[in-house]
Structure formats: C-alpha cells, structure tokens
Chain A
Amino acid sequence: MSENHEFGAFGGRHVPEPMQEPLAQLADAFETVAKTDEFREEFRSILSTYAGRPTPIYHAENLSERYGAEIYLKREDLLHGGAHKINNAVGQALMAEKAGKSRIIAETGAGQHGTATAMVGALFDLDTEIYMGAKDVERQRMNVFRMRLMGAEVNEVTRGGAGLADAVDAALEDFVENVDDTHYLVGSVVGPDPFPRMVREFQSVIGREAREQFLERTGELPDAAVACVGGGSNAIGLFHAFRDDDVAFYGGEGGGEGSDSDRHAAPLDDGHEDVIHGMKTRVIDDDTEVHSVSAGLDYPGVGPEHAMFREMGRAEYRAITDDEALAAFRALSEDEGIIPALETAHGLAMAKRVAEETDHETILVNLSGRGDKDMETAAEQFDLS
C-alpha cells in the first residue's frame, strides 16, 4: 500500500472498512484508466473545446505597481464556470463514465465545485446530486440556481455547522450507501487516498501550462508561485509542475479574524496533526470555530500534501484575514478590472505579503476563480448599493 503514503506522514485511507474496497478499486481504476494516452487525449480535448483551456497568463501591471513586485496571473477565472474546478470535474466524470457509473455526487462549499459537477453531470448525462451546507446555500444562492438549472439535485445539509465539512460527511455517507453505481466526485485534494493524488493529477494542468507560458513570456521561471488554500487543489494544481524548480511556494489560508483568534480556517498556520475525512493532515484546534469570509476556504482541514510541504519547508502558508482578502478583492477589481473570487483574493493578499516581506521580484498567482458569485458580500462590505 505504498501509494497510501506518498505524502510522507500524511494522507492515507482512514475510513471504515466498508469504504476500503471501493477506494481500492477507485485507486486501481485511476492507475489503469486515467494514466493511459487515450484517456489523457480525451481529457485534454474536452478541456480545450468545452472548458476553454489553455487559459492565459496576464501581467497585471497596475497591481504590480501597487504591490511592488511583478505580478502575473494565471487566469483560471476565465474557464467555463468561472473557476479551476472544471478541470477536476471533467477528469473525474470521465473516470466515472469509464467505470460504468451512472451517478455522481459531490460536496460543495462556495458552490463552485458543485456547479462544475452539475456541468459535467449534464455533459456526460449522469444523475447528479450535490451536498451543500445550509449556511452556504444561503450565501451562494446563484450557484444553487445554476446547479438546479443544469439538472443537479441540491441537497441542503443542516447538521453540525451546516458548512463544507458537514457536506463532506453527508457525501461520504451517500458514497458508502451507493457505491455500486455512484462516483464521489471530490472537489479538492482532500479525503482518503486516492482522492488527493487523483484531484492533483487533473488540476496539475494549471501549473504545466503556466510554467510553459511563463518561460515563453519572460525566458525565466517566476521567483514565487502563490495561491489560496482551502482544501488546496488550485494551489497543488499550480505548484506541482514547479516542484523540482527553484520557485518558492506560498499559500494563503482563510485566516478569518486572524490565526491568533478563535475564528479562522487556517490549519497550516495554526493547527495540529489529526485525522479527518479519511486522511491524516493538519486540522484547526478544537477551540477554534471554523470561519472564513469565503465559503470555499471555510474548511477545518487541508490537503495532506500541503501538510507535507509545510513540514518539509517546501511551501510557506499564512493565515490571510478576512480584511486583507477583502482589500485584495477590491484592489484587483479597481486596478485591473478583474473581480476575483473571495477565495482567490486570499491568494492575491498573500502575494502582497510576499512582495512586501521577501525579495522575490516575479510572482505568479493562480487567479483560481472569478468573483461574480461574491457580489452580494461585496455589496454589503463596500456599500455598493
């Protein structure tokens, strides 16, 4: 079971016995199906004709001036659906189809992954059910409407904190109950093996493209690669291609009211090692209430590979407060005419810190999603009405 331990002391398959065999089968399918040339070609083709790849990198000169370093944006916000989530959704739906499953389920926080899943559910003609915390249904209504319009059933989760972690629990239970015909389309690099490495495989297209584009554009690699980290799929997707390069990695977590407060979602900055949702990783402490202004980062754990990167010192992670994220959200909108997702704004705020606190001159930021879905929050925060 060496594949269970590819993230050092983290990761694994910490699930009840009934889930072991389905996950083992999924891992086999991933190794045998998803790594063939035929699969990769089909995947590439759908991403290109349906999802809008490749996405450009954009030199944000106005923002660069504001932050004091050369900021380049990998424009994942331009993808179909408005976020990087579609990369993974297409990959996994393709796997579900090859495995003969008739139904896909997913959890969603901000609704971005749920929307991406609803899209591929329609595209591949699979029954689709989305689990979403009641708290998030309330603050992300547009995405709920989008999912329903595309034919997905949205299941409102009211238990526990009615947030992303509770939606994951509900989806895992559905998966256990219906494993014969159902594929659980996990939205981030979290959960039991093989999900973290599977989602990484499908998201790593981001970094592969960006690396090539950056080299072509500047003749060099960036000094630093920066992304927001909730579960951490857009960050892993960006980092993976640069893992053996002399490129520093920085992740901005949902810092809520600050990592020294008791309301945040920053387990890498302020947490401990723990087992959650089938994986060993870092989790926020028990006396911390999971909170972030961004629904997509509002998660108590993090992908095991990030926990490993942190321990190895390969990447640095910081809690970005709600206020810092909102300032970056506004800055990008005003300077570049690009409204980022609130999640993504944490990556931008992290880039600002990197620009201020380090001597990195070129910073590549994963602009993982667009902010249309966050306009109600923005209208409230910035008094826009």
Chain B
Amino acid sequence: MRRITIDPITRLEGHGKINIFLDEMGAVRNVYFQIPELRGFEKFVEGRPAEEVPQIVSRICGV
C-alpha cells in the first residue's frame, strides 16, 4: 500500500498532517487527518482569575 504524507498542512492556523493510503490501483483506501498539537488551555486557565482569562485564551489562535 502506498502512502502520501502531507506534513505540515499549510496556509491555516495550527498544526496538522494528513496521511493518504492508496491501494495497488492507486485508489484512496483511507485518509487520516492528525493534529499533532496540544497546549492545554483547558487545564492551565484553572486557578487564573476570571478577568485574566480573555487575555490568556486570546492566545489560543492569533490568526
């Protein structure tokens, strides 16, 4: 089985990669989209004052 890897995917905000698996005839058997990125805002805003959270989570995406 042949594999085409697109890494990184581009012209968007964030990280991603795509693996495309092709069978012997060159037809697409399956495609996997992966996001290799995690920062954990959900966790590290815990304990921060509510009024500070907008400034923190604005750094989730700056694009």
Partners in one complex: no
